[in-house]
Structures are given as structure tokens and as C-alpha cells.
């Protein structure tokens, strides 16, 4: 469908505009789009509100509470939804996407692609009967991938320790982390199963805390302290030298899986700064020149 | 071995003391993380081996203690009962020290040399670093083995708990803490007594008490030193607090980056249970109290009270809005009282010696002592404990021994990443909660990072924002986006792309982030920017207008060159240069090819003739 306002043909860019058109297309029917449409419509502009989903409301309609006041999201949004749908100056175009925009301010032409609804909009009354009778509704369209969980006795031992203890997931993951040096995927799925927690919760903990990583670490773990005390004593130069020598960035592992480089915010041995720890060995009062020798002694 | 009454505790104390010979030599070796990093374990093993070889087990004791604070001079060894201090002790020194103990002599070469007089100092209390401190909390660290509860009992440990449980009502304990005017040592400085009272009076059961040992500020390690060196003092304070508040369950939240502290506090807890200082019917008083240890998994924001409680619940440690304070609805929405390690450690002192005694120390509004970690460009790196109101000058020069290599002192950064920088002009500022706030910084947990003329303040501000950018949990927009934007502007300035409007924009952005962030991490994040802008605006201007970094730190604004007259043409720098950017004939002055130089500084570090200069 091609939609253009003012004249039938959009003016090419640069051509002088004689008469500006007081109509606006708002793209995106979330709360900000709705509010913008209402403000414009109340000031007398004709507004087309477009959204790619079959209904307007956006993310806010799915939220329980809003930041920072903890107000109920629907209580704010619902009156606006009703108002925008009833406003004489607003027309809704849903289930549609913008394909291209041409023209100049005051004379835009917009190509909109309306997706197939497969329902005659003029005849539909929204009675809901088809919805109730639809045999495929509420069935997942994509089948869940079959994941074979490998039984892991180490994990069994850990989960036995923490089962039925409220709030112990972080503790359990710390134990997994010290067993494997990282959090392997199979073990995470397995622990979620054993502790009867959603995998998403396990993943959110694993990705939030800096002690955890989903990638295997190398044979030697290098941690360069970038705490303030070390920083003012030149830790960044040390870090750069390690990066250069190993050709990896912090958080990465060398190709031969010998070294993993990480930074740490403070080791609390500031008297030694700048300091770097390889596995359990502390190397203090570093200079750029000492780095190579230390790395060679492990490599 | 469970003690069932205060009398039994006193009897045990007498028994321990009578079995110990006060004149028996004891070698106290620091086994804190700082000294362990310097190889203290090898020193300890060497001493043990030597004593075994000489069959002196019955005549000399060895004690592995917590951190005495003087990390700069580790490994620290103190010989009791005389209190002779040896510094920078190596494993090879053990035979000499042991024979000196036998012959009642002193090993001169391992003594501390007072840099101002050049004289050797024998005893701990004569060393300027210790002499100028008031060590109420940290002093016990050298006197006890943290893994042995009897050492703590011998020093009078758990007498405050016994006093509170047998001779005071919870109301009296609360009143005493309120009267002492103790303020929270975690940084906020909220009156502890009032916080306790809120939780005590809040509706809802059970009530929880929590120790915050998620010491995330880089450069601060006083909580770790207490937890490692004297965990029982924290447990005792926590139990007294629980009694006053009416709680029967306590948590210790401790960073997993402190493995030794986790280990020691777990051992301490086990021993406290055996002796009846934790568990059911403590000292026959019908008061029950259990403590759990919870390891944190590395997130700076989890040190914030509401975030810490969310983490204790086993969730992602993000803060939540505090319309209702955590003292009323905290852990599992129950009244929860959270205090910092150092705050809890102060409680036994207050109960034992009284609020009056405590409130005599310090300034009008900030009472007691505070432990600071003195780090960065200072001669005596370490932990220092001084009364509130001590001036920065005393801290940096009298205790800290001044700036290394005779450089000029520029500023001190206090309060961790969300704190601010205090310039040299305010060196006579008395340090307490309110004075630091007035100067645009804050007390924080007590990290003091000393900076000298070689520190670029713009780079420091950028460093802190980079830290906060990574540590922001991302829940609220002002902090997540605002900090990242401020960091981007500062990076531009450091890399020579700064414009005149940047400073104004920075200030405006800083105010917005300060006013609108959800938790204190965001609200205090502009502090490093605002305080450096306030005191070091000329440095910002130098970066922007002249495109120069006065401290010669910001890479994009400096370049390395070789001073022709000084270069001997030894070729060392050319050999070391990773870019092959240094060219020249042997025995003739070399030059740096600026187009290839990446400013790594290797040539500067390796030149033995000071022939490389930075401009």
C-alpha cells in the first residue's frame, strides 16, 4: 500500500515547497509514540500512528511496574490506549512497517507495508470466538530443542549441599566455578534441573557476577590489578605490555590455551603495586621490562 | 567445651592465661594477604623448620597473625614479649633471628631505620608509622592467631558479649550504642544506634543482622584485614547487635576475592559454636543466634545495602528503590540491619569501655577511630588507624612518611570510586565525615590514594568513570547512560579531542546523574569528575586548549624523544622497542621514529642514562 499526503506525488528533494501539510506520521506505538500522537492530535494535527505489531502499547504494556516510582504500568498506559484509539484526529495503522520515506519536510511520502491479517477488517467485530476455537493457540510454534543432559557427579555433590536452602544459587555456582574454572553449559543446565530453577535465572547470575565466565579459561590465569593504587603507579602500561606479548585482550584466552588474561579491581596488596598475579604467584613492583620474563617462566 | 555462663568464660580465660608464660618468646609473623603475597608463607615455614631443627618447640612459640598494617615493609615479624619489630624478613633470616632470641640480642640489620634521623628503631611503639596512630581495632591483629579462639579470649575477647547478655537488657545495649554516637563505617556515616532502633521497632519477624564485607573499593582493604586478622571481634559485635535488635539470624556477606578472610571467618564461626558464643542459649542467657557466611561473586554494586540483600537471596545483586528503608523491609522483605565490618568491630569496645569513653575520641560529630588504607604514591603503604579529625598532613607525612623520590604531593583521593579528590591546598583538613563532604569528597570505606605530581587528574577521573561504567548494574538509565557519556567526554579530552564546551556539558550531565540515579552508586558517580573539575580545572584546560598533559600521562598528548647529549648509543632501547621505532648507529645517539612509536614507555623504563624524555 502506498500512502502519501498533500499531493499524489512527493516532491523531489530541493524543490521549493509552496504549501506545507499539517499531518504527521508517528512510527512506533509504544507509550512515547502514543503520547506524541495525543499531543499532536490535541494541537490540531492529523496523526497516523503506525506500529509493526497487531496492537499498540509496546513494551510498557507488558511491564508490571515502572521506574523510578514503582507505579503500575497499565494504570498509566490504559487510559492513553483508549484515548488514542478514539481520538478523531488519530488513525491507527497496525501490523505494518515503513518501507521508505521520500520528500522534504512538509511533503513527505511514505511507503508502508501492511502485513497480511488474513481477516477482513471491515467485517470483524472483535467478538473473540475464533480465538477461543483456534486449535493451535497456546501451542508453541517451534518445538523445544532436545537437550541431552549428561549426569555429573560433581554437580550432584554440590547440589546436595545446597538443596532446599533458600538463596544458595550463587554459592552453588561459585563451587561449580572452582571445580571447572568456568561455568560449562551442560553443568548449568544440569544444576538448573537439580535445583529446580529456571535456566534463565542461572544464566542471569552467571552473566552478572564477574567471578563467572562461560568460556573455558587457559592453563594459567593472569590477573593484572587495575585498582586505583596500582593505576597511579602505572598499571595500565603493564596491562598493555601483557596484551602485546600475548596478543589477547582482557577476558580472552591465547589460542594455545596457555594463558587467560583478566583484570581485577584490587587485590589489596597495594604496597606491591603495580601487581600481577599468575595463578597463585604474586609479582609485585612491576615494570614493563619485567613482564616478558615472567610470562616466559610459565609459557 | 560449651560455655554455659559468664562465670565459665572467666574461668576459661584464667585457665588460658595461667597456662601461658608471659615471658616465653613468641615469634609473631604476619600471615595477612599483603605479606603472603610477599612470600610470608616461606618465611613461616623457614621459622618452623629452624625451630624443629634446633628442638626449640618448648621454648619458642610461633604465631601466624593477621595484618599489622605496615604492608610496605612485609614480611613483618614481631618478637614478643619485648615487641621487637623486624621488617622485610626473608626465609634465610630465620636462623639469625632465632639465635638472637636465644641470646637475647637484636638483629640490627632487619630493624626499621627512621628516615628522618637515620637511627635504628627497635620497638613497635617507637616507629613513627605506629607511634602516631591510635590503634583500637587493628592492634589486636598482631597479638592473636585468628585461627585460634583462645588467643582472642585471652585478650579479653567475648567479655563484652558476656556483659551485654548477663548484665544489660537489649534496650540498655541499644541506648549505649546510641549514646556513643558511632556512625556507620561503610561510608554513609549514618548513626548506627538509630539504624538499630529502626530495625528493632520495625514490625515483622524474623529480623536479620548482616555484616557487609563486600569491600569493593579499589585500594581499600581494612575490612579484609579485620576479617582475616580478628574475625571474632566482628562476630562478637554482630551477636551483641543481634541481641539489642532482637534478631536470631545473622549473615556475613564476604567477597570471594578474599579467600583467606572467608577461610578465617568460617573457622572462627566453627570455634564460636563449639565454645557456645553462637547457636542456642548463648552463655546460658536463653538468647539464640545463628550466623551464616555468604560469599559474594564479584560485583561492586552488591556492596550497596539493598543490592547486597538481593544477592543474599541468591538473585542478581541489583539495588532496588528505597522508598521503604532496608532496616524496615530488607532481606526477604523483613527488617534487616546491615553494618560494615568495622562498625561491628567497634561494638565490643563500646560495650566494654562505655559510650562515654568512646565519645571522647574523635570530633564533635564523628566519634571514635577510623582505619584508612594509605596507598598510592606514599612511602609507607599500609593500614593506619587514627582518631576522627586527624589532619591529612599528619596522615600523609607523619604516618605515611611522605611522597617517594621527593616528588611533590598533589592530591589525595578518598572514598573509593564514588569519592573525590582533595587537593594539596586542603592538606590541613581534619578528616571526618562532614569535613570531607564539604570538600566535595566523602569518607567512603576509608581508602586514601595518594597522588603526586606525576598523576594526571583528568586521567584519574576517567579511570574512575571507566570503573563505574563497568560496575553500573544498568537497571536505571541515568547511571547506565550518564556514566558512559561522561566517560566518553573524558576520553575525548584525554585523547586531545576535547572542546571548550565539554566542561560545561560534563558539569550539566554530572548534576543530572547525581539527582536522578536509583542508588548511591549512580548518585555519587559524578564525584570524581566534579571534584577534579573544582580543584584542577587548569589541568582540564591544559588538555583542551594547549593539547598538553601536564603530568605526562595521557598518551595522545605526549611524545617520547631521546636527549642527544645523554644518549650513549648502547642500543638497549632499540633492542627492547616492540615497534622497532628506535634507530641509530652503535655508540652514536639514537632517534625515535615518531610515526612508529606507540608510546609504550619501554624505552623510558629501560634506559640507564636517563636519556629518554617525555614531553
* Residue B255's CATH number: 3.40.50.11540
User: Cβ B297–A228 below 8 Å, yes or no?
Assistant: no
**pLDDT of amino acid B443:** 87
> How close does chain B come to A147, measured CA to CA in Å?
25
Same domain, B350 and B373: no
pLDDT at B110 over 60: yes
Same domain, B421 and B501: no
Q: Which residues on B lie below 8 Å from A283 (Cβ)?
A: none
User: Cβ B314–A168 below 8 Å, yes or no?
Assistant: yes
Place of cell 630465620: B94
Give the ipTM. 0.84
> How close does chain A come to B240, measured CA to CA in Å?
26
Place of cell 613468641: B26
Q: Which residues on A lie below 8 Å from B258 (Cβ)?
A: 268
Q: Which residues on A lie below 8 Å from B298 (Cβ)?
A: 209-211
HSE of A269, CA atoms in CB hemisphere, 13 A: 29
Asked, for residue B415, whether it belongs to a domain, the answer is: yes
Asked, for residue A275, whether it belongs to a domain, the answer is: yes
pLDDT at A6 over 50: no
Same domain, A291 and A230: yes
β strands within B98-241, DSSP E:
112-113, 120-121, 208-213
Span B117-160, pLDDT tens digits: 888 998 888 888 998 999 999 988 888 999 999 999 999 999 99
Q: Best-predicted range by mean pLDDT among A15-19, A166-170, B122-126, B211-215?
A: B211-215
pLDDT at B254 over 90: yes
The three three-digit cell numbers of residue B24, written as one number = 616465653
Asked, for residue A194, whether it belongs to a domain, the answer is: yes
Same domain, B395 and B532: no
Same domain, A6 and A106: yes
3 state DSSP class of A139: coil
Same domain, A201 and A259: no
Domain tally for chain B? 5
Q: Domain ends where: B335, B359, B383?
A: B359
Asked, for residue B464, whether it belongs to a domain, the answer is: yes
Asked, for residue A167, whether it belongs to a domain, the answer is: yes
Same domain, A202 and A228: no
**pLDDT of amino acid A4:** 42
Q: Domain ends where: B359, B389, B408?
A: B359
Asked, for residue B593, whether it belongs to a domain, the answer is: yes
Q: Which residues on B lie below 8 Å from A270 (Cβ)?
A: 34, 71, 219, 221, 373, 375-376, 381
> How close does chain A come to B451, measured CA to CA in Å?
7
Same domain, B379 and B497: no
Span A48-84, pLDDT tens digits: 999 999 889 999 988 888 887 888 899 999 999 999 9
User: Cβ A70–B221 below 8 Å, yes or no?
Assistant: no
Asked, for residue B133, whether it belongs to a domain, the answer is: no
**pLDDT of amino acid A13:** 55
Closest CA to B248 of B285, B294, B214, B296: B285
The three three-digit cell numbers of residue B147, written as one number = 585461627
CA angle (A286, A290, A296) in 5-degree steps: 130
Asked, for residue A103, whether it belongs to a domain, the answer is: yes
Asked, for residue B333, whether it belongs to a domain, the answer is: yes
Same domain, A93 and A64: yes
Same domain, A178 and A267: no
Same domain, B185 and B295: yes
**pLDDT of amino acid A242:** 93
When comparing pLDDT for B191 and A273, which is higher? B191
Same domain, B332 and B351: yes
Residue in B with minimal Cα distance to A268: B221
Asked, for residue A128, whether it belongs to a domain, the answer is: no
**pLDDT of amino acid A8:** 44
Asked, for residue A121, whether it belongs to a domain, the answer is: no
Contact A37, A51 (CB under 8 A): no
Rounded distance between C-alpha atoms, residue B509 and residue B424, angstroms? 27
Same domain, A105 and A20: yes
> How close does chain B come to A124, measured CA to CA in Å?
42
Same domain, A27 and A109: yes
Residue in A with minimal Cα distance to B376: A229
Same domain, A64 and A104: yes
Rounded distance between C-alpha atoms, residue B468 and residue B484, angstroms? 9
Identify the residue among B32, B33, B35, B37 best suited for mutation to test binding to A, counting A beta carbons within 10 A and taking the highest.
Answer: B37
**pLDDT of amino acid B579:** 87
The DSSP secondary structure of B204-246, one letter per residue, reads: -SS-EEEEEE---STT--HHHHHHHH-HHHHHHHHHHHHHHHT
**pLDDT of amino acid A5:** 45
> How close does chain A come to B325, measured CA to CA in Å?
15
User: Cβ A232–B71 below 8 Å, yes or no?
Assistant: no
Asked, for residue B146, whether it belongs to a domain, the answer is: no
Q: In angstroms, what CA-CA distances link B447 with B215, B218, B427?
A: 10, 8, 16
**pLDDT of amino acid B320:** 82
Q: Domain ends where: A116, A140, A167?
A: A116
Residue from the list B298, B375, B377 with its beta carbon closest to the beta carbon of A211: B298
Rounded distance between C-alpha atoms, residue A239 and residue A232, angstroms? 13
Q: What spatial distance separates the first Cα and last Cα of chain B, rounded to whole Å?
A: 69
Q: Which residues on A lie below 8 Å from B312 (Cβ)?
A: 167
Residue in B with minimal Cα distance to A286: B605
Least confident of A2-6, A21-25, A69-73, A204-208: A2-6
Contact A114, A96 (CB under 8 A): yes
Asked, for residue A137, whether it belongs to a domain, the answer is: no
Q: Domain ends where: A57, A89, A116?
A: A116
CATH of the domain at A232: 3.40.30.10
User: Cβ B316–A244 below 8 Å, yes or no?
Assistant: no
The three three-digit cell numbers of residue B158, written as one number = 567475648
Closest CA to B557 of B543, B578, B567: B543
Identify the residue among A67, A198, A228 best suited for mutation to test binding to B, counting B beta carbons within 10 A and taking the highest.
Answer: A228
Same domain, A14 and A49: yes
Domain tally for chain A? 3
Q: In angstroms, what CA-CA distances link A212 with A104, A182, B88?
A: 52, 6, 36
Same domain, B448 and B461: no
CATH of the domain at B566: 3.30.70.20
Under 8 Å CB pairs connecting chains A and B tally to 152
Same domain, B315 and B250: yes
Number of Cβ within a 10 Å radius of residue B443: 28
Same domain, B213 and B315: yes
Q: What percent of chain A has pLDDT over 70?
A: 90
Structural domain including B72 reads 20-127
Average pLDDT for residues B485-505, to the nearest whole number?
93
Q: Taking the mean position of all CA atoms in its chain, how far away is CA B357?
A: 26
Rounded distance between C-alpha atoms, residue A78 and residue A75, angstroms? 6
Same domain, B118 and B166: no
Closest CA to A223 of A266, A188, A174: A266
Asked, for residue A139, whether it belongs to a domain, the answer is: no
Asked, for residue B147, whether it belongs to a domain, the answer is: no
The three three-digit cell numbers of residue B204, written as one number = 515483622
User: Cβ A289–B37 below 8 Å, yes or no?
Assistant: no
Q: Domain ends where: B452, B478, B507?
A: B452
Structural domain including A12 reads 2-116
Closest CA to B89 of B26, B29, B25, B24: B29
Same domain, B233 and B102: no
Q: Which residues on B lie below 8 Å from A234 (Cβ)?
A: 601
Same domain, A176 and A238: no
**What length is written for chain B?**
615
Closest CA to A37 of A20, A56, A61: A56
> How close does chain B come to A270, measured CA to CA in Å?
6
Same domain, A34 and A86: yes
**pLDDT of amino acid A3:** 42
CATH of the domain at B389: 3.10.20.600
Q: What is the pTM of this model?
A: 0.81
User: Cβ B381–A229 below 8 Å, yes or no?
Assistant: yes
Asked, for residue B487, whether it belongs to a domain, the answer is: yes
Same domain, B524 and B379: no
**pLDDT of amino acid A295:** 92
Amino acid at each position: 500500500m502506498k500512502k502519501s499526503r498533500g499531493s499524489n506525488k512527493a516532491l523531489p528533494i530541493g524543490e521549493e515547497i509552496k504549501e506545507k501539510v499539517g499531518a504527521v506520521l508517528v512510527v512506533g506505538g509504544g507509550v512515547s509514540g502514543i503520547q506524541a500522537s495525543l499531543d499532536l492530535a490535541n494541537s490540531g494535527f492529523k496523526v497516523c500512528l503506525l506500529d509493526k505489531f497487531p496492537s499498540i502499547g509496546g513494551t510498557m504494556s507488558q511491564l508490571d511496574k515502572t521506574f523510578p516510582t514503582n507505579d503500575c504500568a497499565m494504570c498509566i498506559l490504559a487510559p492513553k490506549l483508549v484515548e488514542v484509539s478514539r481520538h478523531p484526529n488519530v488513525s491507527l495503522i497496525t501490523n505494518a512497517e515503513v518501507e521508505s520515506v521520500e520528500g522534504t519536510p512538509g511533503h513527505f511520502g511514505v511507503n508502508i507495508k501492511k502485513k497480511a491479517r488474513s481477516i477482513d477488517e471491515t467485517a470483524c467485530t472483535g467478538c473473540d470466538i475464533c480465538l477461543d476455537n483456534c486449535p493451535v493457540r497456546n501451542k508453541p510454534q517451534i518445538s523445544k530443542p532436545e537437550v541431552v543432559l549428561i549426569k555429573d557427579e560433581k554437580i550432584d555433590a554440590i547440589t546436595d549441599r545446597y538443596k532446599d536452602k533458600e538463596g544458595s544459587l550463587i554459592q552453588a555456582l561459585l563451587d561449580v566455578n572452582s571445580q571447572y574454572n568456568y561455568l560449562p553449559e551442560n553443568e548449568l543446565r544440569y544444576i538448573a534441573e537439580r535445583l529446580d530453577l529456571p535456566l534463565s535465572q542461572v544464566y542471569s547470575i552467571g552473566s552478572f557476577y564477574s567471578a563467572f565466565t562461560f568460556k573455558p579459561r587457559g592453563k594459567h590465569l593472569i590477573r593484572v590489578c587495575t585498582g586505583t593504587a596500582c593505576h597511579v603507579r602505572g598499571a595500565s602500561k603493564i596491562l598493555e605490555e601483557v596484551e602485546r606479548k600475548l596478543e589477547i585482550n582482557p577476558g580472552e584466552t591465547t589460542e594455545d590455551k596457555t594463558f587467560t588474561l583478566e583484570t581485577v579491581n584490587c587485590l589489596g596488596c597495594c604496597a606491591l603495586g603495580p601487581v600481577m598475579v599468575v595463578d597463585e604467584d604474586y609479582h609485585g613492583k612491576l615494570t614493563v621490562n619485567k613482564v616478558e620474563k615472567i610470562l616466559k617462566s610459565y609459557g | 567445651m560449651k560455655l554455659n555462663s559468664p562465670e565459665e568464660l572467666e574461668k576459661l580465660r584464667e585457665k588460658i592465661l595461667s597456662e601461658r608464660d608471659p615471658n616465653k618468646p613468641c615469634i609473631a609473623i604476619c600471615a595477612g594477604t599483603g605479606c603472603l603475597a610477599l612470600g610470608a608463607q616461606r618465611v613461616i615455614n623457614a621459622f618452623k623448620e629452624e625451630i624443629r631443627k634446633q628442638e626449640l618447640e618448648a621454648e619458642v612459640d610461633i604465631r601466624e597473625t593477621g595484618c599489622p598494617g605496615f604492608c610496605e615493609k612485609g614480611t613483618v615479624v614481631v618478637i614478643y614479649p619485648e615487641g621487637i619489630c623486624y621488617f622485610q624478613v626473608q626465609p634465610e633470616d630465620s636462623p639469625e633471628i632465632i639465635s638472637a632470641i636465644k641470646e637475647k640480642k637484636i638483629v640490627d640489620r632487619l630493624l626499621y631505620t627512621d628516615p628522618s634521623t637515620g637511627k635504628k628503631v627497635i620497638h613497635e611503639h617507637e616507629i613513627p608509622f605506629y607511634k602516631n596512630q591510635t590503634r583500637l581495632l587493628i592492634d589486636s591483629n598482631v597479638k592473636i592467631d585468628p585461627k585460634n579462639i583462645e588467643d582472642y579470649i585471652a585478650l579479653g575477647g567475648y567479655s563484652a558479649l558476656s556483659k551485654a547478655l548477663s548484665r544489660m537488657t537489649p534496650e540498655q545495649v541499644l541506648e549505649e550504642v546510641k549514646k556513643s554516637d558511632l556512625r556507620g563505617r561503610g561510608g554513609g556515616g549514618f548513626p548506627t544506634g538509630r539504624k538499630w532502633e529502626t530495625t528493632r521497632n520495625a514490625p515483622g519477624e524474623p529480623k536479620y543482622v548482616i555484616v557487609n564485607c563486600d569491600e569493593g573499593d579499589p585500594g581499600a582493604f581494612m575490612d579484609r584485614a579485620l576479617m582475616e586478622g580478628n574475625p571474632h571481634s566482628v562476630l562478637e559485635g554482630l551477636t551483641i547487635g543481634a541481641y539489642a535488635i532482637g534478631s536470631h539470624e545473622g549473615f556475613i556477606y564476604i567477597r570471594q576475592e578474599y579467600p583467606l578472610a572467608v577461610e578465617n571467618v568460617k573457622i572462627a564461626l566453627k570455634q564460636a559454636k563449639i565454645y557456645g558464643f553462637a547457636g542456642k542459649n548463648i552463655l546460658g542467657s536463653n538468647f539464640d543466634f545463628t550466623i551464616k557466611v555468604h560469599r559474594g561473586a564479584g560485583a561492586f554494586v552488591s556492596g550497596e545495602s539493598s543490592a547486597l540483600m538481593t544477592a543474599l537471596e541468591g538473585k542478581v545483586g541489583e539495588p532496588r528503590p528505597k522508598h521503604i528503608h532496608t532496616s524496615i523491609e530488607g532481606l526477604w522483605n523483613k527488617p534487616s540491619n546491615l553494618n560494615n565490618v568495622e562498625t561491628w568491630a567497634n561494638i565490643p569496645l563500646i560495650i566494654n569501655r562505655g559510650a562515654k569513653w568512646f565519645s571522647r575520641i574523635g570530633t564533635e560529630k564523628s566519634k571514635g577511630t577510623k582505619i584508612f588504607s594509605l596507598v598510592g604514591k606514599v612511602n609507607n603503604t599500609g593500614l593506619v588507624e587514627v582518631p576522627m579529625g586527624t589532619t591529612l598532613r599528619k596522615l600523609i607525612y607523619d604516618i605515611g612518611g611522605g611522597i617517594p623520590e621527593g616528588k611533590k604531593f598533589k592530591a589525595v583521593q578518598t572514598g573509593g570510586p564514588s569519592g573525590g579528590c582533595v587537593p594539596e591546598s586542603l592538606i590541613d583538613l581534619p578528616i571526618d565525615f562532614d569535613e570531607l563532604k564539604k570538600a566535595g569528597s566523602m569518607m567512603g570505606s576509608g581508602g586514601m590514594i595518594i597522588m603526586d605530581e606525576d598523576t594526571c587528574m583528568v586521567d584519574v577521573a576517567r579511570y574512575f568513570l571507566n570503573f563505574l561504567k563497568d560496575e553500573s548494574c544498568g537497571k536505571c538509565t541515568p547511571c547506565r547512560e550518564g556514566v558512559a557519556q561522561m566517560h566518553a567526554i573524558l576520553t575525548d579530552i584525554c585523547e586531545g579531542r576535547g572542546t571548550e564546551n565539554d566542561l560545561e556539558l560534563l558539569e550539566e550531565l554530572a548534576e543530572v546523574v547525581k539527582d536522578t540515579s536509583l542508588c548511591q552508586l549512580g548518585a555519587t558517580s559524578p564525584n570524581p569528575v566534579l571534584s577534579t573539575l573544582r580543584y584542577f580545572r587548569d589541568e582540564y584546560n591544559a588538555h583542551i586548549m594547549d593539547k598538553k598533559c601536564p603530568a605526562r600521562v595521557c598518551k595522545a598528548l605526549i611524545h617520547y624523544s631521546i636527549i642527544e647529549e645523554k644518549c650513549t648509543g648502547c642500543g638497549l632501547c632499540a633492542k627492547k622497542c616492540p615497534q622497532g621505532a628506535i634507530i641509530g648507529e652503535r655508540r652514536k645517539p639514537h632517534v625515535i621514529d615518531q610515526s612508529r612509536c606507540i608510546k609504550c614507555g619501554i624505552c623510558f623504563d629501560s634506559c640507564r642514562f636517563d636519556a629518554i624524555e617525555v614531553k
